[in-house]
A and B are shown apart, each in its own frame.
Chain A
Amino acid sequence: MTDEAGLLGIYRTAVRINRADEKLRGLLTSGELAVSYYSPRGQEVVAAGMMSRLRAEDYLVTTYRGIHDQIAKGIPLEPLFAELFGRVDGTCKGKGGPMHVTQPETGVMVTTGVVGSGLPIAVGLGLAAQVRGQDRVTVVCFGDGASNIGAFHEALNMAALWRLPVVFLCQNNRYAESTRYSDGTTVERIAQRAASYGIPGVTVDGNNAGEMAEAASQAVARARAGEGPTLLEAMTYRFMGHYFGDAGAYMDADEFVAAQAADPVPALRKELLRAGISTEEELTALENEEQAAVDSAAAFAKASALPGVDELRRDVYREEVVA
């Protein structure tokens, strides 16, 4: 069971994600930031719950819709925001941008913009840990839509075959761009597909912090013990359309309203109060702290310099590219 400190920690992370996302959407609206942005709004608790079960040295691979995963894994807000602004103080010196945030020191090894491509890479991270006899775990996040691409199947099969320490976390937000889940997928649950590879497939309410953390704990423990991969499907919902600016006109209105009413971040807050884990004052203080951290990260990013053009020819190969 997730203890009180665990739930409170998940709430803090979820608030950080939530406020960071809100800030970024504000900056996009005002025009201070101009990037392709895929909001994780509605999926905060999935990431916060999952990553709360990991160690710093565990690996994460995620996608363009990945800022919640990156924050939850521990990337500090300042270099994260600076990367989104394309600044030299960004995690990747501004050379990756929002779709390619990387920070090995917090275990964030790859963020990919190609649907499904992270899964085979995660298999390789797990393979490296196994070959070296390390008990490091790799988590790879992807969407419901990604489970229809070939790489998903190749990766699950290979990870199952070699019993690799990988947790495949499908964040099922019911849509792949503008295509509804049931218009792209015939199985009722993505987790059912685990049966094809002889590994556990678990579906949880990813928006319930306790359930999410518990399922994550089990998958991580299994991986760490050398028992192999798990396909973990976290049911969640995408509140902000596919990309920033997408009004989501194709989304089912009733479903949308119901999902908003069950907003996972306020729901967790209510639960912390109900269970007597925290007081109103404590939570307000926590929220103010996270808001302040987000505001200062945004200020930091805006003040950071743009990279010099000499960066263009660096990091293509180990040796700088000659003109």
Chain B
Amino acid sequence: MIELDNVGYSYGGGELLREVTVRLAPGSFHFLTGPSGSGKTTLIRLCYGALQPSSGQVRVFDTDLRGLDRDQMALMRRRIGVVHQDCRFLDHLPVADNIALPLIVSGRDVAAEAGNLAELMKWVGLGARADALPPELSGGERQRAALARAVIMSPDVILADEPTGNVDWEMSQRLLRLLVELNRMGKTVLIASHDLGLIRAAKSQVQARVLRISDRRLQLAGADL
């Protein structure tokens, strides 16, 4: 699904990531962990083409990202659901429209998917907040909305950057269950998180691998978690 081959990245200053080689196989479940500022968000952005690697190669769905033009990149992103760490929304549109945004921009019939949308909103516990504007939501509600938006297109891959950063344990378990559920349906999942409790909880539900960034390199963490 997503392959990084000897990828290096720097924002212009010193090198942030080097010699990162990883392969997210179809249907796999990965956690990405590491200290704050170690480059988790950066790595995720490399995975969906928001950043171009300084060296090495990123392949998504068996295509080198460098070979894609802008329209092909847009089409590729419809197959990847991304939960941003700082969940970005269109602040002038109600939550329901924000969650349906991927459907709208890809020209799908939103009315035909209204049932799906309502169900999904109920699932993330936002059924009653459909008409609220994003700035009116709590941090946790925003994260749930971001997750709902990431999965509404039923993407092949879900990249979630700290999806449980702002929610209580109860809710984080619910979001995790949603992601595990999606993984069981065959989706590839990558979650960046430094919440070790969450990772442990996940390991009891799904065969998850843990990738850790340390010393600018990506390592497969052992079973010591």
Q: Do A and B bind each other?
A: no
* B interface, CB within 8 angstroms of A: none
